[in-house]
Structure 1
Amino acid sequence: MSATDVARADAEAAPDGDAPQAPGAGRRWTRRRVLRLIAPAMIFLGIREVGLLVLGWMAARNDMSPTDALRSWDGQWFLAIAGNGYAGVPDGLVDAFGKRGAETPLAFFPGYPTVVGWLSDLGFRLVPSALAITIAFGVVCAYGLTRLGELVRGGSRRAGLVLVALFAASPMAIVLSMAYSESMFCAFAVWALVFVLERNWVAAGLCCAAAGLVRPTAAALILAVGLAAVIAVLHRRDGWRPWVGGVLAPVGLLGYLAWVATRTGEWDGWFALQRRGWDSEFDGGAATVKFSLDVLGNARSVLEVATVGLIIVALVLLAIGIRRRLEWPLLVYAAGVLAMDLGSNGLMNSKVRLMVPAVTLLVPIAIALAKRRTATMVLTLSAFAIVGSWFGAYSITSWGYAI
């Protein structure tokens, strides 16, 4: 089924008021409604399948297994934690300096491996369980993005579906098919933002709290949800609900950081693990600027040059969002994600992957593409998907360093 069919069905999904229907019209409307219901999942899964096909081709050319590629790097840590708990991670897994302490695995947040472990405990194999959880949360995120596209100023359901396609096809969207936690985090983050725009404060707080158990990037989400809740309280809107949502939002992140502090005996235990194991800490962007200038000066590799280009694109998209007056919680969230990513040193090759959760940067593009002719929209998204699929496959098959 083509994207054109999906778009046509979406446009025709609603019945024409009380006009008389021809025999069989109800059945046709039901089929269209089913198509409308599954469209976000179809678009997300279809584009990710293109990414996996490109990955299979790239893996074959590099004499490696696609499954091994999908569980590489951080995936090995998540799988080990899911299967054996923090205390049972094999000694062979080490930090960026080749070292390993008893607390090193605590650098990885528990949300994703815990859910993977639950599914594995039901009798399923560990790697398929991890990949299934990743895909399932990607689909959940797709429905959230569709709703987000309807809620934003100038948006529509069509814009929401385009947003799903852009997300699934973005550079480094390969992690949305890997044993990585980005898919789960994005699902919680997008729905938290949807609930903020709908002023469903308790649900927003719960999603934000869950995101805090998945990735440290939840700090950006807590900022957006917390500020929105504070403003609602100051304007005396929605009674007690923004109070509860604001209180719930940081519970997951603060709870895990506090637990790591007690395990390590250091008040900043998680941050200390990042500094010692991955040389990662906030430096205001100095390392990112130095990396960018060095790469542009000698063009060491395709991936590094593309990384610098995508950093610039992300900053331009943030400026466009501000100029187009995108809803401020979405801007605060995206700016927070970029600040945490670009403002830290550590592994420069992970910069593009760490920008994947900043999906709200793509909203203005989605709105603009949704207003184009269907053929133009489909061709643009197809080209984007092919380029993004190659970039992601290259990063985990041909590129020899961690992402």
Structure 2
Amino acid sequence: MAHVSTGPARVVAHLGNRVRGRPPGEGRRLKMSAVTAIGLFVAVRLCGGIVVALAASSSGRRPLPLLGYSWDSVWYLRIAAHGYDLPKNLAFFPLYPGLVRAVTALTPLGGIAAGLLVSWAAAAVAAYGIHRVGVLLHGPAVATALVVLWGVLPHSVVLSMAYTETLLTACAAWSLYAVLTGRWVWAGALAALAGLSRPNGCAVTAAVLAGAAHEVWRKRGRGVPHRLWMGAALSPLGWAGYVLWVGLRKGDPLGGYFAVQRRWGSRFDFGRGALRFTEHMMLHGARLIFPMALLIVVVSTLLFVLLILDRVPLPLVVYSGVLLLIALGGAGNGYFQCKPRFLLPAFPLLIVVARALVRTARARPWHATVVASALAGFSFAYGAFLVVFSRPAL
């Protein structure tokens, strides 16, 4: 498939050419590719869940409470049941607990089951959105590899937990797809929802605004559709609206939310805290989860450089870059091991790897099978270790 240069307009034009020149049956082939990708994603996550269940059973614990009521899940489910009744609750954004509350109100499911249902459904929607972005850029084979790679990341067990990363990724993938195809209102609305899902949801807003700014610059400000301005205006409303609401509740409109985060020991220090922790870890050693987190952050940084060199569309670079910046620069007591989880929504970082895997599969299918199997096996084993045996919070 031809290379796609930077900028939403180029991608839209490229997509239009593909649609006009689509041979008979290609639409069906793309649908089958999406079904295959989502099916493989569900399969690998089910296998990961089975490994977690076996590990939990061996330690005398139940898997569903581990997946649905651990660490941050406890806070989200409390908000879903009781609202923002505690000052510390205000650190958690409202979209996920709101959806959980809606599910418990409309179905007989309890909080844990509802939380898992929302997360699993969001993971499937995210996988489909990632596939659509991958098809747009490099065709169905790379798109399928991209989805599967996202499902077998070392921390992908989080995609099976009652956490918010799946919800953010779902909103982000479809917002980015909307930007790349010129659907600006949809892009802005989904960016607003992403901003209501997690603190780092602001990365989606940055991507939409970058895409809009590039389009305005390309047109020199002339003939810019009003939908672009509307989408750009919508995009920050979720994140900024919640931060302002928390600030008003705390009596400090601009600083109240960040004061709540500081009570959790969370702050942005441009990576100084992470460097100090890394130095301490190198000198004195640490549990497996900490060096693994460092390795994942380093690899993610290298993948971001490769993403830039690959000249993917600007919104994808900005989105991934903001997520990486937040993960690198954020600091907090006991949060170093969470950095890989913060990077889970950064699926564009895997585009270069997906392309390499597809090339390998075409030239040496056995090698690609071994690589994919090794990644999946490590993901399942490490995910079970994180959930069942590791003490630090994910």
SS at structure 2 position matched to 1:281: strand
Q: Using the aligned pairs only, state the percent identity.
A: 33
The 1:237–1:365 alpha-carbon spacing in structure 2 relative to 1, beyond 3 Å, is: farther
Q: 2:292 aligns with which of 306, 317, 335?
A: 306
Instruction: Quickly say closer, same or farther: Cα 1:33–1:202, change in 2 above 3 A.
Output: closer
Q: Is the 8 A contact 1:217 1:340 kept in 2?
A: yes
Counterparts of 2:23 and 2:93 in 1: how far apart (Å)?
50
Whether 2:195 is the aligned partner of 1:212: answer: yes
What is the distance in 1 between the residues matched to 2:209 and 2:34? 32
Q: Name the CA distance, whole Å, in 2 between partners of 1:218 and 1:226.
A: 13
Counterpart in the other structure of 2:262? 275
Structure 2 CA distance for partners of 1:197 and 1:298, relative to 1, 3 Å: same
1:169 matched residue in structure 2: 152
Question: Contact conserved, 1:103 with 1:263, CA < 8 A, in 2?
Answer: no
The equivalent residue for 1:90 is none
2:89 equivalent to 1:105: yes
Does structure 1 residue 363 correspond to structure 2 residue 348? no
Paired residues of 2:100 and 2:111 also in contact (CA < 8 A): yes
Which among 38, 41, 46 is matched to residue 41 of structure 1?
38
Cα distance in structure 2, aligned partners of 1:261 and 1:86: 14
> Which stretch shifts more, 222-231 or 204-213?
222-231
Q: Is the 8 A contact 2:65 2:112 kept in 1?
A: no
SS across alignment from 1:274: helix
Paired residue for 1:385, among 372, 376, 382?
376
TM-score, length of structure 2 as denominator length: 0.87
CA deviation vs aligned residue, 1:371-401 (integer Å, no higher than 9, x gap): 2224433332221111122222211211112
For the Cα contact (< 8 Å) 2:134–2:146, is it kept in 1? Answer: yes
For 2:29 and 2:203, the matched residues in 1 are separated by 38
> Are positions 1:181 and 2:164 aligned together?
yes
1:72 to 70, 73, 89: 70
Q: CA deviation at 1:17?
A: 6.5
Equivalent of residue 122 in structure 1, options 81, 101, 106: 106
Q: Counterparts of 1:294 and 1:174 in 2: how far apart (Å)?
A: 28
Partner letter of residue 377 of structure 1?
A: A
Aligned equivalents of 1:35, 1:228: Cα separation in 2: 30
- Distance of 1:232 and 1:316 partners within structure 2: 28
Amino acid paired to 2:199: P
Deviates further, 291-300 or 41-50: 291-300
Aligned partner letter, 1:386? G
Shift, 1:37, TM fit = 4.7
AA in 2 matched with 1:260: V
TM-score (norm 1): 0.85
Query: Residues 394 and 216 from structure 1, CA distance in 2 versus in 1: closer, same or farther, beyond 3 angstroms?
Result: same
Unmatched 5+ stretches in structure 2: 1-21
SS at match of 1:170: coil
Contact 1:40/1:139, CA 8 A, preserved across alignment: no
Match of 2:390 in 1: 399
Query: How has the CA–CA distance of structure 1 residues 232 and 114 changed in structure 2, closer, same or farther, with 3 Å as cutoff?
Result: same
More helix by share: 2
1:246 pairs with one of 224, 228, 232: 232
Measured in 2, the distance between the counterparts of 1:57 and 1:110 equals: 33
Counterpart residue type for residue 258 of structure 2: F
Matching residue within 332, 335, 342 for 1:354: 342
CA positional deviation for 1:341: 1.3
**How far, CA to CA, are the matches of 1:244 and 1:30 in structure 2?**
31
Rounded to whole Å, the distance in 1 between the matches of 2:164 and 2:199 is: 11
Any runs of at least 4 consecutive aligned residues in structure 1 with deviations exceeding 6 A, and if so which? 29-34
Partner of 2:133: 148
Contact persistence 1:317–1:361 (CA under 8 A): yes
337 and 37 in structure 1: CA distance in 2 versus 1, 3 angstrom threshold:
closer
Aligned to 2:57, which of 42, 60, 69? 60
Give 1:99's aligned residue: none
**Structure 1: distance between partners of 2:389 and 2:126:** 29
One-letter code aligned to 2:256: G
Q: How does 1:307-326 map to 2 (within 5 A)?
A: 307-326=293-312
